[in-house]
Amino acid sequence: GSHSQLEDTAPRIVEHPTDLLVSKGEPATLSCKAEGRPAPAVEWYKDGERVETDREDPRSHRTLLPGGSLFFLRILHGRRGKPDEGVYVCVARNYLGEATSRNASLEVAGE
């Protein structure tokens, strides 16, 4: 009927992240945009583990942007570890279900 645009819909990813090659210390953005009604909540996972952003830790260098993209103030990379390097996926959820984006790898350019 004419009210179909008001029906709740499960999330779908309309913009997927793409592989990134970033220099150490540079900012980076992993894109993700999801649609659904109600508007889905977006979470990011790296190598299967949930990514903490400044929502959980105000000092985090990762910010979840309003549209769902993941923004890195600067890519951290040191001798002791490569905390930002890995394979990321974005997951959008609402009460009707969830949608998972394609995998995107973030690599830090050679020293």
- For residue 2, being part of any structural domain is answered with no
- For residue 66, being part of any structural domain is answered with yes
- For residue 3, being part of any structural domain is answered with no
- For residue 47, being part of any structural domain is answered with yes
C-alpha angle 91-16-34 in degrees, rounded to nearest 5: 55
Supply the pLDDT for residue 3: 61
pTM more than 0.85: yes
Q: Which domain holds residue 76?
A: 8-106
The CATH code of the domain that includes 95 is 2.60.40.10
Supply the pLDDT for residue 95: 97
H or E, element range at 9: strand 9-15
Distance CA 109, CA 75 (A): 10
Q: Residues in the chain with pLDDT < 50? A: none
* Number of domains the chain contains: 1
At 98-108, the pLDDT tens digits run 999 999 999 99
